[in-house]
Structure 1
Amino acid sequence: MTISSAALAWSSIALAGEEPLYEPAPDWIDLVDLGEVERDAANSMLVNDTQLRIIEGQLWEYRDYVYKIASLADLSSVGTLKATWLPDKGDLIVHEVSILRDGEVIDVIAQGEEMEVLRRERMLEQRILDGSLTATMAVPGLQVGDELRLRYSVTLRDQALGDEVQSQYYLWREEKGGGYGSDSEADFARVRASWPDDLGVRYQAGPNYDLPAVENADGFNRIEVMMPLPEADDVPGDAPLRYRQATMLQLGTFDSWSEVSSVMAPYYETDGALEGLDDLIARIEEIRTSHSGELERAVAALELVQEDVRYLLNGLDGGNYLPQSVSETWDKKYGDCKAKTVILLAILDELGVEAEAVLVSSSGGNLVPVSLPLPGAFDHVLVRAKIDGNLYYLDGTSLGANLTTVGNVPNFEYALPIRASGGDIEPIKQLLPRAPDAITEVNVDATAGIDLPMLVSMTAKLFGPSAAQFNAAAEKLTEDRKRQMARGMNNSLAMIDFDIIPGDDDSVSTMVITGIATPEFRFEGLRGELGLGMFAGSMGFSPNRSRREWRDIPVSNRSGASTQFTVNMTLPDGAKGFELRDAEPVDVEIAGRHYTRMISLDGGTISVSETLTANGGETPPEAFREERRKAAALARQKPKLIAPTDLPRVWRFATQTDRSTLAPIEDALEQLIIKDPEEVTPYLTRAAFRYNTYDFSGSLEDMDKVVELEPTAEYFGQRSTVHTMLGNHDASLADLEEAYLLDPRPARAISLASMLAVQGKFAEARDILEYEDGDENVREELAVSLAELDALEGQREAGLMRITNLLADKPNDSYLLNEQCWFMGVWQVNVGDGISVCKKAVENSDNTSNAIDSRAMIFLRNGMLDEAKTDIAAALDLNPNQTASILLRGLIRLEEGDKGGQEDIDNALARDPSLRPTYRQWGFEI
């Protein structure tokens, strides 16, 4: 490997600065006069001063910090001073450590104190050995009320850069609402940079900041920036990073990106790099003979580097820019991005694959075009291979080399090719079709009914780095984590099994998840509708550019992902009568995102297949209108599946003894319980299913287990409802009493009082209700419950007056109007006046089906059977599962002489047996 003469020269003085030096500051330093600083008690520092001096090949950084010791907490946080430097590149020179107390300067160093040197590997847990040293000093004798001053310099000559120098420094701004931010709360904050006027130094600051004019004195140019800068202007959150980054001062001696490229080029030469590495050459020959074609061989070479060379960044001896040799990397079996790039280049060269190293920024790629030409604009290097005219970015530090996804470009945005002749920055573009990183197929069994739980089987196949990362963590996945992942794919899914099927190598992984999920259809009356498609909702485009200064700012498009998702749902009765609407194929690109959708209804199965690929890039302002138009057009397409209105619904099981259709669901729910027999959730899930399918005895068995496992107020209350359905009023009362004892809130008091009233314990019920209090809504609910109690005790007029009094202050309140309407009807109080009350209730109602049902009752009481029949039909059109309305319809039909009304009554009582005693107390013989 060829190394520049500059690098060789500097390697001879590596680690020259392993101990701090104690020397005065150089003459060019402008020492801050503390007596001239205007003090602000709100700031934690008096001085935060940085002065930079650039000479040929060297950067000198001078720091002056003065801390205020205003409390014991300050003694703890700043009483131990720290300074960090890179000993292979320069020295730490301590100029001053002093305590300022009542006008006296106490020289701590003159008293014999020195800084202790520690090696601080700040990022060792990230497999980064950064080579820095830290000098610390626990300052003796420091007191609250003192000021502590530390002045030191760090020199830096980078072995890889030769005579070139670079520096990047963040410039702090005021924060909105006042304050400067934790790093810059100083009464005096400054950065000053200087360099010989005959040295070609480029400089800039941004975004949104114009540097002051350069001054010249004594043969040196100088820039000075006082901080904090004014607060930054707001920038839309979807703006590219170059608009949103913190303001930075950049200085450097590089003329161009081409010079940066050529300076780095010698370190990535691979001539002779494989000499003596017979075992590696044998591996290369194995790749050559086992794989045909350059692309397959390149992927195999990448896999070799990813898997056989573990990641470790060694920043010692110039390692931040200088890669270790191929022989060292292969011998030690570790290396960082530079080492992995060089060894991969050597392997590809041996295989005859055209390739070069490229510098990239892993998180700030968007900043590269607006940066000065500096190596510091990048933090990563990888290989770019050219095969059959296509560019492939091969990252040896990643995982999961895969032939399918190798053409997917990373989201680094820009790259700088490293070439001896020099290169310029180039955009990284996705030119090949981006292959999916994940392919998911979901099979749903809804044959039992579209309003019943569905059996679900999901197969998710991962490719490339995501697969490798998942495979690495697969053995550590707990059951809880698997459940979380399953819910991430379907938030209503109760997981039964989660199997992981490894691929031929770690670049492929398959998850197979089975479970049971809640129904997907949504109902309006008898009309069931299933919205189709999952990704279209993420295709919106509505950038906020409402401010004049934002109008020329582009939108940063999301990048780096491609997903394929297919759902197949098997429908009841071979999908007879189901109708597809607005299901035309979609193939559209909006703001850098490519979306396709295909929908079919065939053989009793509805299938939806979607792909979403985010290619990145930016959307310029002149394209906003067209992208908005395309997004709006897509949003208007709302594909849906409409179910036939005569499809059998869940309430058929209230009167149907054959429950064999439900057997697969019962089996799945049983598997949930077997999997977690001591967990409450599976029993609750089955209890709810059985309750909703009118198996109240089965539901009670599960609720008994729930209460045994977790005897909470909530679960006692839920079990009481099941007892009520079974007519077990004593058991229901006992549960309600226990729930109220555990959690004595008004809602539980109302439930308890209602059951006490059913058993004729009116005085106890009244005591409980009159004891409770709460906000306005609670007081209204308590008053309505007391009104019911009044009526049960024969005081119907008094009960009605309670509700009437509430309406005096809220005459248009829909809840109170409906309660008054219902009370007048069921208790037959002023039924003639009730018609106008009920009409007003319907007009003001938020729950129209309830209000219309109440008005049907008042019409029935007034003998207005046609009106009652019309209203109850309307109520059931809105809510066909409103059981009390079915019962009322039966009563109306019987009153008309229609004996078929008894079937309605029987159906309603089968669904809700608790209605029988309730309606009997209102005078209905059922």
Structure 2
Amino acid sequence: MKWMHLQLKLQAVFLFFVSCFAAAEEYQVAPAANWVKHHELLTPEIPRDQIRDGTFYLMLDTQLQVSEQAPQQRFNRTVMQAVNQSGVDYISQLNIDFDPNYQFLTLNSLGIIRDGQYIDKLNSAELQVLQRETDLASRIYNGTLSLNVIIDDMRVMDILDYSYTVSGSNPVYQHFSTKRTLNWSVPIVQQFMRVQWQKPTPLYINFINGESPVTKTKLDTGFDYQISQHNEPTLSSASEVPHWYSPYKEVYFSEVNNWQEVVNWSLPLYQSAIEVSPAIETIARQIKFQHADLESQIVAALRFSQDEVRYLGLEMGTNSHQPTPASETLALRYGDCKDKTVLLISLLKALGVEAHPALVNTEDRKRTASLPVSPSLFDHVIVTLEHQGKRYWLDPTISYQRGDLENLAQPNYDVALIIKQGETGFTDMFTEPALKRIQVSDNYQIPEGIDEPVSFSTQYKYGDFEAISRRSSIAKNSLKSIEDDYREYYQDTYKGLKTAKPMLVESPEDTGQLITNEHYTIDDFWRPEGNDFQNDFYASEIQNSVYKPEQRERNNAPMWFRYPNNIETTIKVTFT
């Protein structure tokens, strides 16, 4: 086993060097293709009171060529001016991302305009291909590379003008789709969006939060669609808004026009990976032997996919959306959301339970249902099933989840697209939590003497995802560290507070709650007020759950608020 482990490490090192060597061949410097349309640059007066990061954007130009015969081409040109030293720092280094598994990068132009004169920087700039794993902290490896460009001799008021073309698209997508934001929080002089559509199938164009004129020109095959904007008004979003809210205008181009087409595209990806192999049947038999009723078996299958298979995403190329076969994920004992979803569905199938993948968007949430149809809208997948007339949502990527089926904390991303034959739209995900999020019981034992220490005990019952979060925090930070944090929290209110006995933690398997029991003594509890003594008692969890908005005038922007947020506090004061 040691020799095999060493071999695997040597293979990984070899592949690393091969990939580094290959990276140098995965971009070139060449002029833009003939199909690309050139736009003349405008240089108006700089609106200095609206500039951020010291950068004035003069042009954003995106052009795509899509045909059945050749790889997709995406041309991008950006022109921006450094109006101060902050702008010089901001624009003098670029990172152009591409996926070498299915894309090829061509740097078309790179130069600066100084006092009206163009200075070519293609030969003097430093170019280097870097591995760019932006989701590494989330344990996701996507294989993206970045052409790092460092421009020499950049000065204040210089204009950077660069363009590049990315050829190729992820082959996992059978249909074309793209989107573009059309108004921003900073001024942009010129914006261009163009799709040269050379396919016989129709291309659907939809807008969100406003529209812009679209010029349509007939081609031999298909059409040329162009959007041109000049000095579009800036727009700023309100503060304290939900994650899903966006006031910005966007245009969506898509080859699909209904969600059933997205379901039909996704179905074979998951069906080909769901399997009841001998190894999966063995796990299912063990679950049946240990758990008599079906509800417990469902939870045990979920727990296995959560706890026995670690989260790790190797999402290079088609693996971004193509799940790994269930038996392979079981053997590897790691996988991302779609791999763990397929494994859980396979285990449930071996237990005689029908389950399906459900695509969700963790950022856009309920806004997803109102967006134009596109297979690329989703960033997460979970499992859904029906049992005794009730729908359940199960997420195999969650750690530290406990509770039986009725008390299981169910994820809520507002809407989900269930990948099942015949599904044509979204399903509402909201499920009323079985337990309160937080239940607090504060007990104060007041002695007869004013100067005697007060005994204070508190019990917290965390339910739903709050229990999962607290259980995870204890596992990562140690119980002692959590205990110290809790004591310091109370000492902000009671300066004379001391720990009377160690904190006790309970975790009932049936409810999935996390229960903490704390015991303290408080010296100098009472404050003199004239001839009397007094103190205040706070329902702090309820008090802290409500906040005063910083921005009062919101222009119809929604304000974020946790929902549902069930908190119960009981304060009991006993006088001797």
In the other structure, the counterpart of 1:566 is 570
Provide the identity percentage.
21
Match of 1:378, SS?
coil
In the other structure, the counterpart of 2:225 is 222
* Contact kept? 2:273, 2:324, Cα under 8 Å: no
How far does residue 338 in structure 1 lie from its aligned partner after superposition?
Answer: 0.8
Alpha-carbon distance between aligned partners in 2 of 1:380 and 1:19, rounded to the nearest angstrom:
30
How far does residue 561 in structure 1 lie from its aligned partner after superposition?
Answer: 4.5
In the other structure, the counterpart of 1:801 is none
Moved more, 415-424 or 100-109: 100-109
Alpha-carbon distance between aligned partners in 2 of 1:137 and 1:55, rounded to the nearest angstrom:
28
Match of 1:445, SS?
strand
Match of 2:520, SS?
strand
In the other structure, the counterpart of 1:165 is 176
* Contact kept? 1:56, 1:199, Cα under 8 Å: no
Q: Closer, same or farther in 2 for the Cα pair 1:235/1:93, shift >3 Å?
A: same
In the other structure, the counterpart of 2:29 is 22
How far does residue 381 in structure 1 lie from its aligned partner after superposition?
Answer: 0.6
How far does residue 345 in structure 1 lie from its aligned partner after superposition?
Answer: 0.7
In the other structure, the counterpart of 1:427 is 428
In the other structure, the counterpart of 2:520 is 515
Q: Does 1:459 align with 2:464?
A: no
* Contact kept? 1:193, 1:223, Cα under 8 Å: yes
Alpha-carbon distance between aligned partners in 1 of 2:198 and 2:64, rounded to the nearest angstrom:
9
Match of 1:357, SS?
strand
Letter of the 2:134 partner, please give it.
R
* Contact kept? 2:99, 2:317, Cα under 8 Å: no
Match of 1:559, SS?
coil
Alpha-carbon distance between aligned partners in 1 of 2:562 and 2:570, rounded to the nearest angstrom:
22
In the other structure, the counterpart of 1:132 is 144
In the other structure, the counterpart of 2:8 is none
Q: Does 1:120 align with 2:127?
A: no
How far does residue 537 in structure 1 lie from its aligned partner after superposition?
Answer: 6.4
How far does residue 249 in structure 1 lie from its aligned partner after superposition?
Answer: 2.5
1:453-508 Cα shifts (integer Å, max 9, x gaps): 631112224355224313322417536524345569x7778241442435477965
How far does residue 560 in structure 1 lie from its aligned partner after superposition?
Answer: 5.0
Alpha-carbon distance between aligned partners in 2 of 1:236 and 1:77, rounded to the nearest angstrom:
25
Q: Closer, same or farther in 2 for the Cα pair 1:230/1:287, shift >3 Å?
A: same
Q: Closer, same or farther in 2 for the Cα pair 1:25/1:119, shift >3 Å?
A: same
How far does residue 351 in structure 1 lie from its aligned partner after superposition?
Answer: 1.0
Letter of the 1:138 partner, please give it.
I
Match of 1:131, SS?
coil
TM-score by length of 1: 0.52
Alpha-carbon distance between aligned partners in 1 of 2:425 and 2:541, rounded to the nearest angstrom:
38
TM-score by length of 2: 0.80
Alpha-carbon distance between aligned partners in 2 of 1:114 and 1:94, rounded to the nearest angstrom:
13
Match of 2:263, SS?
helix
In the other structure, the counterpart of 2:474 is 471
How far does residue 515 in structure 1 lie from its aligned partner after superposition?
Answer: 1.7
Moved more, 43-52 or 499-508: 499-508
Q: Closer, same or farther in 2 for the Cα pair 1:521/1:388, shift >3 Å?
A: farther
Q: Closer, same or farther in 2 for the Cα pair 1:241/1:19, shift >3 Å?
A: closer
Count of residues paired in the alignment: 539
Q: Given the alignment, which residue of 37, 42, 55 partners 2:43?
A: 37
Tell me how large the CA RMSD over aligned residues is.
4.1
Q: Does 1:260 align with 2:262?
A: yes
How far does residue 352 in structure 1 lie from its aligned partner after superposition?
Answer: 1.3
Q: Which has the higher helix share?
A: 1
In the other structure, the counterpart of 2:165 is 153
* Contact kept? 1:18, 1:91, Cα under 8 Å: no
Match of 1:324, SS?
coil
Q: Closer, same or farther in 2 for the Cα pair 1:557/1:547, shift >3 Å?
A: closer
Q: Does 1:98 align with 2:111?
A: yes
Q: Does 1:63 align with 2:76?
A: yes
* Contact kept? 2:527, 2:533, Cα under 8 Å: no
* Contact kept? 2:104, 2:167, Cα under 8 Å: yes
1:62-90 Cα shifts (integer Å, max 9, x gaps): 22123435666555443333211122232
How far does residue 403 in structure 1 lie from its aligned partner after superposition?
Answer: 2.4
In the other structure, the counterpart of 2:11 is none
Match of 2:295, SS?
helix
Matching of residues 327-726 of structure 1 within 5 Å: 327-404=327-404, 406-431=407-432, 434-448=434-448, 454-463=454-463, 464-475=467-478, 477-478=480-481, 480-486=484-490, 494-496=497-499, 497-501=501-505, 503=507, 509-517=514-522, 550=556, 558-559=562-563, 561-572=565-576
1:550-596 Cα shifts (integer Å, max 9, x gaps): 5xx88876325444443333233xxxxxxxxxxxxxxxxxxxxxxxx
In the other structure, the counterpart of 1:717 is none
How far does residue 167 in structure 1 lie from its aligned partner after superposition?
Answer: 1.5
Letter of the 2:503 partner, please give it.
D
Match of 1:455, SS?
strand
Unaligned 5+ residue runs, structure 2? 1-18
Alpha-carbon distance between aligned partners in 2 of 1:455 and 1:461, rounded to the nearest angstrom:
20
Q: Closer, same or farther in 2 for the Cα pair 1:477/1:39, shift >3 Å?
A: farther
Alpha-carbon distance between aligned partners in 1 of 2:231 and 2:319, rounded to the nearest angstrom:
35
Which structure would you say has the larger Rg?
A: 1
Alpha-carbon distance between aligned partners in 2 of 1:206 and 1:45, rounded to the nearest angstrom:
26
Q: Closer, same or farther in 2 for the Cα pair 1:20/1:393, shift >3 Å?
A: same
1:114-162 Cα shifts (integer Å, max 9, x gaps): 7321111122122121221001233345556643321102234222221
Matching of residues 178-197 of structure 1 within 5 Å: 180=186, 186-196=188-198
Q: Closer, same or farther in 2 for the Cα pair 1:389/1:48, shift >3 Å?
A: same
Match of 2:441, SS?
strand
Alpha-carbon distance between aligned partners in 2 of 1:525 and 1:379, rounded to the nearest angstrom:
64
Q: Closer, same or farther in 2 for the Cα pair 1:249/1:521, shift >3 Å?
A: farther
Matching of residues 51-90 of structure 1 within 5 Å: 51-53=62-64, 55-56=66-67, 60-68=73-81, 74-90=87-103
How far does residue 392 in structure 1 lie from its aligned partner after superposition?
Answer: 1.4
Alpha-carbon distance between aligned partners in 2 of 1:528 and 1:534, rounded to the nearest angstrom:
18
In the other structure, the counterpart of 1:880 is none
Unaligned 5+ residue runs, structure 1? 1-13, 175-179, 573-926
